[in-house]
Every structure is written in structure tokens, then in C-alpha cells.
Structure 1
């Protein structure tokens, strides 16, 4: 942990402070990318309902009115009643019910729709984690830039005080004009560094605000370095293979490809259906009845369709091979990312420890140089070099802390532990 300088300026209390947890919650609620992913998930779930609907009965009703040019009447021999088979104004209504009894091609379609919904849900979860990962990265980066502003403000304070002291010494004739010019130059450089740090922070804060869909009117607090479980690489790799949603989605995509190929095989089977129709009309017809009904049991078996099924079968087999390769690729990528992220994290921790040690030495050097300068032992150039070394050590420690935090986030993400619900 890097202790903040005692003389650094704090953020104005009028500026609201946005914590990392608040930023992540804002992303959950406001992220447009996450809203898109959730909408696609809902579409996938509706596809499952659509697949089931093909196996449910369908009911339809209809009616018609026809004006005929002539009326047709049938009279039976022997003085029987006349039957109007075509009136001038003909009215008719019909109700029909259809139900698939044996539809083999629908069985894998229903199962595949459920798998597709699983894939969509896993992709949505992966998108959620990636969005929150991007927000966390942006937050740590912006917070580090804010700390760099404080280091730059401290250096400016030191150089302003040094310039005032040198001006007094120059007026008293104890230092040369060169020393005064050097003090003024150091102060000008410190002002320029402060402006550069503020602009970098403003840009990083704007990027974070865009991710969470809010105004860039907040200050930040630098979070501690994320904690990484003290597991071996093998354990982290196992966790990544089990808990990463992109790996799980790749596996379910393979199941979906196999299911679609199975669906092509089932299309070779015959289908059986049932339908029932009820009709009513003011035209009695030859039966003499104004209403009628019919029940039909039908079977259909496509023996040859021009080779379309064979083409579909080869196409789906190729997709199975593609999905299998993508699954292996996702698993291999997980192994590589965990191993590389672990190395990056260990390297970043070592660099941070050295940076903190260098910062401690630079602070002590600057303190002793100040004391020596006031005692007339050290020169102004030595003081300026000590102040510059302290600033560089501050900025270096802030940078190494940022790199360590980002490396920890990447390792957690690679192992499937970042923002796991």
C-alpha cells in the first residue's frame, strides 16, 4: 500500500465521491451494452416457446358471404322437399383443429431451442462480466490519475516554496541568479506537469462516466489492490474451466451443433397429423344438412427431396466440427490466460514492492537534503534533484500499484472469479 503524502491536497468535499462498488452498480443498471445482451437473451427464450408451439394444437375459424347470380334448387321425385344447394345470398362458417401426432423433426428442434437459450444466457453472463471488468479497469486507471494529480500538486507546492526561499536568498545576495532561474524553471515545469495530470484524469474520468452512463462530475477513491486467492495455477485453471461462462457457452454450442445435426437425421422419418373440421352454411348441399364435420388422420413421408437433406447433413456435420474446435480453443485460451495472468501478477507485485521501497528512500533523501540545504551544506541543485527524484518515485509507485491492480483483475477474470454471481 502506498501511503499518501501528508501535504497532498484532498478533493473538495463539494465533489461527490464515486466508489468502485457504486460504479459497478451503475454499470449493472445503466450499461447500454448490457441492456442489448439482456434483450438478446429474452429473444432466445422466446425461440424456445416458438419451438414448443409447433407441437401444440392450432385452432382456426373463418366465415364468408357470397352473392350468387343464380339460385340452384334440387327437387326430389315423389314430391319430396326442395333443397337449396346454392342460394342467392350464401353464408358459410368453418372451424378447424389441427394437431401433430408424430412429428420427429420437432423433437430435436424443441431440445435445440432450450440449448440455444442456455447459450444466450451464458453469453449474457459473459457480457455482464466483461462490461464490469472494463468498468473496474477504467475506475482503477482514473483513480490512479487522480493520485498522480496529488503528487504533482505536492511537487508544485515544494517548488513554489523553494522559489520563494531562493528569491529571498537572492535578494540577500547569498545565492546566484542561476539558482533563482533554476528554481523558477522547476516551478514552471511542476505547473506544466500538474496541468498534464489533470487533463489525463479528466479524460479517464470521462471514459468511466461513459461506461456507466452518468455525468463526469465525481471524484474517486483509490481502492486497495484486489485480493487474489492463494491457489496454485492448476487450481485456478480448473476453476476457470468450470466457472467461465464463455467456456461453458462453447460447450453448449457444441451440444447445439450436435442437436441440429440430429434434427436433420430426424427429418428422414415420416410424420403423422390429425385435423378436424366443422362447417355450417345456409346452403344445404346434396346431403340436405346445413352443417357437416370431418375428421382426418394423415401421414406424410418424404422419400426424396432433391438431396436437400443430404446437403443439410453435411453442413451440420461441418458445424459440429467447428463447434468442437471452438470448445477446445476456449479451454486452451483459459489455460493460457490463467498462466500468463499469474506471471504478470507476480511480476507486478515484485515491481510494486521495489517501487514502494524506492519511494521510501526518495522521501528520506528529500528530507535530509532539505535539512542539509537549510544548514548551508547542500546545494540547490541537490535539492532540486531530490525533489525530482521524489516526484518520479511517487508517480512510479502509483503506476506500479495500478499495474498490480489491473494484473489482479485480469487473473480473477481468467480464473472465472471476477464478479461471479
Structure 2
């Protein structure tokens, strides 16, 4: 996802310019702005929420809500938790295995060894009598009609290639997943900040549109009065009415964009909220210098580096998986048939070793597969570094351009306001036409809207620069400390 966009021209329709600045994350997040009273509800115009109906939050509070209860952040954390289970699974290679089994067997052919009957049979054939019948043992039951068996076994690995070589890769994989979740959190916070600031910009543009509507209504009333007095023609009244309609159309468009962003911001932070007033102090972002190479410290680059380390460990395991596995086994047995031992219980102590000689080529296939994955991870790591640096350079350039654009837009807004006052005074004195007055009103509205959009864009570029360094969440965590 490309998180940087070029600043739009201040001379375009300003509502479209603002959407262009927000478009990369418009599908992820949007938010409600401080509402202000309109002069009159127009048909088809979405009404702004009344003050107090929504929870008003600052930008820092909106970001904190997204971290705490945002569904996208929760999903990233859950994915990281799933990957962390792989480390616990790797440690199972050293953990013992304990099993307990039991059986009850009923047979229709019980087996018994009767040596006394055998001696009598031999003696009867050869007509011999046993010299000492007491030495003949009693019958021995090999398998009774109903038999019970039980076995308890514990197996403790003493050496296993998986336990030696796979714990490190599993740990690196879990760390990569955690860093990936933190990167996803950064992207969500960037979306929240862009949407929040965009809403504040739209709110200020709506103020300019309302002021333009008020001015157009005033011009309309003046044209009506002059027309009734015979001092002007109907063209002036029609022009004033067209300007009123145009201002209401702009206000309706901005209101629709506001409602869309408001719904998306609520989806990001987990509850309906609206931005604080524009005069609220701006957030302080932790922005490092170029000398620190901040693009190397982003969560995406660090996660890619951990992925390379994990894949290197898997390749090492594949190369040494031929080593033998050694285990100590203790087994206890119960047999309801005493047999020749005369005992129903016994135990066995076993030292077992196994070495794979040839496993149908599966080890070699796994080695080739993991080597390919290692090459892929290395390429992704280099790509992540390059993209992170490019994002940092672009964000810094966009910030500098936005600062220059804001200075120009504010100067133009001040100039347009003075020109409007001068033309209005000249019109009242009869030395300016209604067309010149209409042009001055339009230019002031465009300049005021451009300045509002430029201010919102500048704040967005600042948070983008912090996001390019992976410092949005860090700035949020340091804000309470700075307050103390």
C-alpha cells in the first residue's frame, strides 16, 4: 500500500483535492469533525451531528482508542499470537512424552501351560511314574478367558536435531510476526491520523462554504433591493442567486464527504467519535534526523530481517537433520496373567537411538525448498529497505512542499479577503460592477478553502513523515510523559 501521495493543486475544486490527499487510506479510515451551525437546512443536505451527540476526542485520544479497541489492530495482534505459538511448538522437541494405555480382553480360547498333564501323558505312554510329583509346577495361565493389561510410558529426548536447530528459527519467526503486527498498527494509526486531520480540514472548508453562502445571500438581498429601486438589472439578481446555489452545492458535497469520513473513523477506532476543535494544540511527532537512518529502524524492515534469520535457521536444520535422535524411555507394565514370572507388574528402562539413513529424499526436497524461501526472504528484506528509504525521502519532500504551499495559500487568502473588502466598498460607491463583486467573492472562497486544505495537508504530511520512520505509536507513548 502506497502511503504517500503528492499534494494537490490549490486551484482545483478543493473538495476533490482533499479527497486526493486522503485517497490511499480512504478505504481504511475516516472520522467525524466538529460540527457548526448552518444558517438553514437545505433539501438533500446531510445534517451535521448536534454537539454532544458524539464523543469529542483529540488526535492523541483517537489514536489511543485505535490501539486499545480498533478491530484492525486487534486482528494484527491475534495474527502475531498465532505465530508466537510456533516457538512453543519448537520447544516441545525437548519435552517428555507421557502415555498411559489399558485393555480388557475377553477370549473364547484361553491358553494355559500344564506341565503336570504333560508329565502324566509321557509317563502313561512309557509306563513310568514320576519319582517326585511335588516338583511338577502347577498349571500356568498364559492367556485367561478375561485378561487386563495396562502400560505407562515416559520418553525423554536426550538429543534431537529439531531441538538443537529449530528453536532459534522459531524465535526469530515469532519476533518477525510481532514486528509485523506493530507495522500493521502503525499503518492503522496513520490511517486514523490522516482521516482525523482530513475531517478537520473538511470542517474548516465547510466554514468557508457557509461564509460564502452567507455572503451570497447578502448579495442576493442587496440585488433584490436595487432591482426594486430600479438601480440594477435582473442579471445581477440571477448571478447572486447562482452564487447562493453554488455555495449550497459545495456545502452539500463537503457534508457528504464528512459523513463518509466520519463513518470510517468510527470503524477504525471502534466507536463513533468526532475531532476536537481546530484550535486544539497539534500533536507532537517524534521525527528523527537523516543521520539516524530512520528507514532502517521501521517495523517492516526489522520484520524482514527477522524473517531472513528464521529462514537461515531452517536451512541449517535441513543440513543437519541426518544426526541421530537419542531418547531415554521408562515403561511400566501390568498384566493380570502372571505367566512364568509369577508377577503382574514389571518395568523396563530403555535407551533408544535412531538415525535416518534415507527418507525417500524428503530431507533433500525440504532443503531445496527452504533455500528458495531464504533467497525470497533476502530479496524481500532488500526490497523493504529500499521502499522504506523511498517512503522517508518522499514524506520529507512532501512535508517541505506542503509548508511552502501553506505559506502561499495563507498569503493568497489574506490578499483575497482584502480584495473582497475593497471591491465591496467600490460596489457600494457605484464604481464596481456586480460581476467584479461576484468574482471577488468567489476568489475569497477559493482562497479560504485552499488555505484550509493546505493546513490539513501539512498536518497529514507531518504524520506521514513520522509514519515513514515508524514513530507514530512511539510519539503517542511519549505524549503522557511530556505532559508530566
TM-score (norm 1): 0.91
2:169 — aligned with what?
A: 112
Q: For residues 386 and 375 of structure 2, what CA distance do their matches in structure 1 show?
A: 17
1:137 — aligned with what?
A: 194
Gaps of 5+ in 2: 1-35, 39-47, 117-134, 478-484
Structure 1 residues 14 and 153, CA, compared in 2 at 3 Å: closer, same or farther?
same
Q: For residues 379 and 436 of structure 2, what CA distance do their matches in structure 1 show?
A: 63
- The yes-or-no answer on 1:147 pairing with 2:201 is no
Gaps of 5+ in 1: 1-7
Residue 304 of structure 1 is aligned with which of 339, 358, 362? 358
Residues 326-363 of structure 1 show CA distances to partners (whole Å, capped at 9, x for unaligned) of: 11111111221111211111111101110000001111
1:183 — aligned with what?
A: 240
Residue 67 of structure 2 is aligned with which of 28, 32, 40? 28
- Kept in 1, the 8 Å contact 2:72–2:268? The answer is no
1:380 — aligned with what?
A: 434
2:44 — aligned with what?
A: none
- Give the drift of 1:250: 0.6
Structure 1 residues 64 and 306, CA, compared in 2 at 3 Å: closer, same or farther?
closer
The DSSP-based 3-state class of the residue aligned with 2:94 is coil
The DSSP-based 3-state class of the residue aligned with 1:283 is coil
1:174 — aligned with what?
A: 231
Residues 156-201 of structure 1 show CA distances to partners (whole Å, capped at 9, x for unaligned) of: 0111111112211221222222222222222222222221221121
**Backbone CA RMSD of aligned residues:** 2.1
Residue 317 of structure 1 is aligned with which of 365, 371, 379? 371
1:13 — aligned with what?
A: 51
- Kept in 2, the 8 Å contact 1:105–1:266? The answer is no
- The yes-or-no answer on 1:73 pairing with 2:127 is no
Residues 266-309 of structure 1 show CA distances to partners (whole Å, capped at 9, x for unaligned) of: 20111111212111121012222211211111111112223322
1:221 — aligned with what?
A: 277
Aligned length: 410
Q: For residues 230 and 76 of structure 1, what CA distance do their matches in structure 2 show?
A: 94
Q: For residues 382 and 189 of structure 1, what CA distance do their matches in structure 2 show?
A: 17
- The yes-or-no answer on 1:368 pairing with 2:422 is yes
Q: For residues 364 and 229 of structure 1, what CA distance do their matches in structure 2 show?
A: 38
The DSSP-based 3-state class of the residue aligned with 1:252 is helix
**Range that drifts further, 76-85 or 64-73:** 76-85
- Kept in 2, the 8 Å contact 1:18–1:221? The answer is no
- The yes-or-no answer on 1:94 pairing with 2:151 is yes
**Range that drifts further, 185-194 or 389-398:** 185-194
- Kept in 1, the 8 Å contact 2:196–2:275? The answer is no
Q: For residues 146 and 73 of structure 1, what CA distance do their matches in structure 2 show?
A: 97
2:100 — aligned with what?
A: 61
Larger of the two Rg values belongs to structure: 2
**Range that drifts further, 307-316 or 123-132:** 307-316
- Kept in 2, the 8 Å contact 1:83–1:288? The answer is no
Q: For residues 140 and 336 of structure 2, what CA distance do their matches in structure 1 show?
A: 11
